[in-house]
Chains A and B, each alone.
Chain A
Amino acid sequence: MKKFLNISLLSLVALSALTLGSCKNEVDEIFDDDAVARLEKAQKEYYDILTDKGGKWQLEYYANSNEPGYIYLMTFKKDGSVTIAGKNEWIGRAMGESLSISTFGSETSLWDVITDNGPVLSLNSYNKFFHLFANPEDIPSLSDEDPDETGYGHEGDYEFDLMKYSGDTLYVTGKKYGLDMIMTRVDAGVNDETYMNEVDSMKTLFFNARIPQVYINLPNGIRWIVKDGASSILKMFREGDDEISTSEYHNIIITHDGLSFMNPITLDGYVIKNFIRQADGSLLCRDDNETTMTADLLSNVFAIKTFAWKADTTQIGGTFFDKMRAIKSELNDYEKRTLIGIQISFDAKTTQKYQVTFSCKKGKNTFNPTFYVDLEQVGGEQIKLKYTGEADAAGVIYAEKCPSMKTFVELLGGTLNMTSPSLLAPVEMKLSDSGNTANYTYWKL
């Protein structure tokens, strides 16, 4: 009973306070204006931001959490029109491409900044190259497994809550599905198609399907292995951990200057979101300026036994050039034969050795004299291809008829510096004499 009384008394006091409070006419002023006026002001501010300086923006667009992101360029005009340009395989399909071909598309539609709970960017008329991600139709699939997505589609947003503007960056959130995205102002003079082509070409620079894996190198020395980069949904696991049980998947977007994860990821305590492409083709994390993304050591990539490196005979210098010219001359003297190409590969069938093969032609006949070498990794980015003195039957004959071939192989046995235009997708490599870099050869996968 006492407890009841206490509660009743407390309730009475509280009720009295509320009753008295309700007669207070003065309201504390938290904001200068009422809510509607503030909303209207924000609406105008964002409208001006979007159309300012030519009104061109890059949107890092994610339709959902299971697909990679796509870059779109949007040019907002004060007449209520917006030109939306993109380049991806879905646009290709919308334009009738039967295969998954990344295709450029640009179309003008309508836009507005409307008010709801806050200012909202509404792309309010259908743009066939953008709203395809919101269309609730079944998604055509090239694979055997083709679930029916009718009623859902990609479930992408076309209205965005305008959350924050800072330093020519707009932070937006998809209105229906709530994914956070970023819009960045782009110079109004940029040509949409050129820009999108440059973004598209980044994909092959970063992730080449022939390079099986790349690495995220954390400042503490730990490496994370990254696979399936070409799909833009990265499979990642810490080096040394079990791939099957510990892999995690993160979707990314290839941007004009690098790549970004959809959401920040944490690897061994390091928070990572954005990578910027460096001059050497590697990626440097913009968030800490320390973490990098690279492929394996060049010498390891070169040593992958399934690879066949073909010499680019237009990019060859110094003594290598002299020897190649001598080879051509000797082949010509040897019953008018010609040199077609030079290749370094691994003979997995018989000798289990690396080999240098010269392809020669006489009339319709092709000959492949082969010389065996031992690949020695001297340092991180140095190798030697030391001639073993062995050759196949054709090699034995050609060593006699065309002695410069053997000399050329012996030159490869010196210490060779390795460089590549891209440390992330090293599908091209330059091998140059460490003692005199004027002596070099160039090889491509």
Chain B
Amino acid sequence: MKKIQYYISALLLLAVASMSLSSCSEDKLGPTIFPEVSDDLDPNSYTYDLDKFLKENYLDKYNLTFLYKMPDVSTNMNYNLVPATYENSKDLAVLCKYLWFDVYDKIAGPEFLKAYGPRIILLIGSPAYNPTSGTEIVGLAEGGIKVSLFKVNDLNRFFNNPEMMNEYYFKTMHHEFAHILHQTKTYPNEFNTISIGHYDGNNWQDRSEGQVASLGFLTTYASSEFREDFAETIANYITMNESQWARIMDLARRGWVSGDEDDVASEFFCYYYYPDNDATQDMKYAYMYEVIDETDEEGVVHHYLRSNRSIVVYDVEDKDGIDGVDAINQKVQIAREWLKTAWNVDLDELRQEVQDRQKSYNIADLRSQYGL
């Protein structure tokens, strides 16, 4: 199954209907009919340590409920989902604090998340697959209130793989938080003009990473629409390490060609060659991994087929008319200025703090530090 990952952000629509109600007599309100729930934690509970940690670090601090016991009714019943394991819930609770909440506290000040942070984080153990479209939801934000994180049961496999951990959890949270912020204070409209005409809301999942980078998008999902592009720009700039960023820039400066122009989901290539180096024959395309680079004495880089080093390989000409690197840099600059002016948040400081923490954290130490 081809898995394309994306986020869903839904605006909470509140419809207030004015109704003139008339009552035949005036009813007095009695005491609440709802059960009164105590805030006190039960020290005999199996989950007391985690519940105490969540109360002190999320509920009391940010008025945020961290839901790790998954009631299916809290999710979209069209998906088959399972709860998170208790152990992974503990680890993600600790990591969310260290790699996300503490970062914003440090860079933007402790009041920032109190005012704008999400109010519910819901952990879900499995991915949310959509079998009919072959897509997979990696994050879900509803009305800037609730953020759902999926695939939590794979967390322990990602401890040594920050790229995957970001992909499923922290990039998701930065992405969704970016939505919350721009829904509160609008970003400059200039951002929407940079890639205008190149968004594809219907077929973004069929696009290739190299193709969209060349068009000025950091991810395929960013190429779906303006707002997702804006959130993806911020989230990826913060979480991508230097080598990941350099790779995207490399893809962005290349030319790309479709292997089959009649098929929107076809592969895209950035190299071509002629069989037997004979330019009279039909050209063939090569994937990046099929090509090796060799630098000669004068510093010129030559490309050859990995399977046959006598075959010279050429770069595909960049014909889209877009400087992908420049477009991405423009978008980052707009996001940088907007975060500074609208929110007094330094994007580069935020990025550096995240990068430092994700390089150096130790899950066992964090568990121990918080008594979990």
Contacts of A152 in B (CB 8 A): 80, 131
- Cβ of A131 and Cβ of B72 under 8 Å apart? no
- Cβ of A124 and Cβ of B70 under 8 Å apart? yes
CB distance from A83 to the nearest CB of B (A): 11
Contacts of B1 in A (CB 8 A): 138, 148, 150-151
B220 at the interface (CB under 8 A from A): no
A25 at the interface (CB under 8 A from B): yes
Contacting residues of chain A (2-58) with chain B, CB-CB under 8 angstroms:
22-23, 25, 34, 36-37, 40
- Range class of the A interface residue count: 35 or more
CB within 8 Å for A109 and B86 given contacts A36-B35, A126-B125, A136-B126: yes
Contacts of B83 in A (CB 8 A): 123-126, 131, 158
- Cβ of B47 and Cβ of A80 under 8 Å apart? yes
B127 at the interface (CB under 8 A from A): yes
Partner of A124, one of B44, B69, B79, B126: B69
A81 at the interface (CB under 8 A from B): yes
B85 at the interface (CB under 8 A from A): yes
- Cβ of B71 and Cβ of A135 under 8 Å apart? no
Taking each of B25, B44, B131, which has the highest tally of chain A beta carbons within 10 Å of its own beta carbon?
B131
Contacting residues of chain A (81-117) with chain B, CB-CB under 8 angstroms:
81, 109-110, 112, 114, 116
Partner of A150, one of B35, B46, B125, B129: B129
- Cβ of B47 and Cβ of A110 under 8 Å apart? yes
- Cβ of B81 and Cβ of A136 under 8 Å apart? yes
Tell me the number of A-to-B contacts counted with CB atoms below 8 Å: 95
Q: Which residue of A lies closest to B51 (CB)?
A: A80
- Cβ of A135 and Cβ of B77 under 8 Å apart? no
A337 at the interface (CB under 8 A from B): no
- Cβ of A80 and Cβ of B45 under 8 Å apart? yes
B12 at the interface (CB under 8 A from A): no
Contacts of B85 in A (CB 8 A): 109, 125-126, 128
Contacting residues of chain B (32-80) with chain A, CB-CB under 8 angstroms:
33-35, 44-47, 68-73, 77, 79-80
A137 and B45 CA atoms in complex are apart in Å by 32
A134 at the interface (CB under 8 A from B): yes
A146 at the interface (CB under 8 A from B): no
Contacts of B129 in A (CB 8 A): 136, 150-151
- Cβ of B79 and Cβ of A110 under 8 Å apart? no
Contacts of A36 in B (CB 8 A): 33-35
A124 and B47 CA atoms in complex are apart in Å by 12
Contacts of B89 in A (CB 8 A): 125
CB within 8 Å for A79 and B71 given contacts A25-B25, A136-B82, A150-B129: no
Contacts of A25 in B (CB 8 A): 24-25
- Cβ of B73 and Cβ of A155 under 8 Å apart? no
- Cβ of B72 and Cβ of A175 under 8 Å apart? yes
CB distance from A127 to the nearest CB of B (A): 8
Contacts of A112 in B (CB 8 A): 69
Give the dominant DSSP class at B's interface: loop
Contacts of A153 in B (CB 8 A): 80
Contacting residues of chain A (269-325) with chain B, CB-CB under 8 angstroms:
none
- Cβ of B71 and Cβ of A125 under 8 Å apart? no
- Cβ of B80 and Cβ of A136 under 8 Å apart? yes
A80 and B45 CA atoms in complex are apart in Å by 6
Contacting residues of chain A (121-168) with chain B, CB-CB under 8 angstroms:
122-126, 128, 131, 134-138, 148, 150-153, 155, 158-159
A77 at the interface (CB under 8 A from B): yes
Partner of B86, one of A37, A40, A110, A138: A110
CB distance from B92 to the nearest CB of A (A): 13
- Cβ of A116 and Cβ of B73 under 8 Å apart? yes
CB distance from A334 to the nearest CB of B (A): 69
- Cβ of A150 and Cβ of B25 under 8 Å apart? no
A176 at the interface (CB under 8 A from B): yes
Q: Which residues on B are within 8 Å of A, measured CB to CB?
A: 1, 24-25, 33-35, 44-47, 68-73, 77, 79-86, 89, 125-127, 129-131, 153
12 A–B contacts, CB within 8 A, in A order: A37-B33, A79-B44, A79-B46, A109-B86, A125-B69, A126-B83, A128-B85, A136-B82, A138-B1, A148-B1, A151-B1, A151-B131
- Given A81-B46, A126-B84, A131-B82: 16 more A-B contacts, CB < 8 Å: A25-B24, A80-B45, A114-B73, A124-B70, A124-B71, A125-B89, A126-B85, A128-B85, A131-B125, A135-B80, A136-B80, A136-B82, A138-B1, A150-B1, A153-B80, A158-B82
